[in-house]
Amino acid sequence: MRPDRSEAIILQSIPSRERDKLIVFLTPEKGKRKGWAYGARGLRNRFGAALEPLAKVELVFLEKESEEAVRIESASMIRSAFPAQQELARSLAATYIAESVETFVQADDPSELVYRLLDRIVEALLAGRPVEPIVAYAEVWILKLGGVFASIRHCAICQKPLERPLRCDIRGGFVCSGCAEPGVTLIANRVAELLGALLSTPVDAFAAMPIAADDLFELRALARDLRRYVLGHELKTHDLLQSVIRG
Partner 1 sequence: MTAAPLANLINELSRLPGIGAKSASRLAYHLLKRPAVEAEALAHAILEVKEKIHRCGVCNNMTDVEPCSICSDARRDPSILCVVEEAFNIPTVEATRDFRGLYHVLLGSLSPLKGIGPDDIDVAGVVRRARSGSIREVILATNPNVEGETTALYVAQQLRGLEVRVTRLAFGLPVGGDLEYADQVTMAKALEGRREI
Which residues contact partner 1 by CB under 8 A? Answer: 12-13, 17-18, 43-44, 46-50, 52-53, 77, 80, 82-83, 85-88, 91-92, 94-96, 99, 236-237, 239-241
Cβ distance to partner 1 smaller for residue 92 or 211: 92
Cβ distance to partner 1 smaller for residue 129 or 238: 238
Cβ distance to partner 1 smaller for residue 50 or 121: 50
Please report the DSSP string for 32-94 in residue order: EEEEEETTTTSTT-TTTTTTSTT-EEEEEEE--TT-SSEEEEEEEEEE--GGGGGSHHHHHHH
* Helix/strand/coil for 136: helix
Cβ distance to partner 1 smaller for residue 134 or 241: 241
Question: Residue 169 Cβ, how far from partner 1 at the closest point, in Å?
Answer: 31
Cβ distance to partner 1 smaller for residue 77 or 188: 77
Q: List the 173-175 sheet strands across, edge first.
A: 173-175, 166-169, 185-187
Is the Cβ–Cβ distance between 30 and 110 less than 8 Å?
yes
Q: Sign of torsion, CA 144 148 151 152? A: negative
Question: Residue 28 Cβ, how far from partner 1 at the closest point, in Å?
Answer: 22
Give the alpha-carbon dihedral of 151, 33, 108, 5, to 10 degrees. Answer: 110
Question: Residue 119 Cβ, how far from partner 1 at the closest point, in Å?
Answer: 17
Question: Residue 240 Cβ, how far from partner 1 at the closest point, in Å?
Answer: 5
Question: Residue 5 Cβ, how far from partner 1 at the closest point, in Å?
Answer: 18
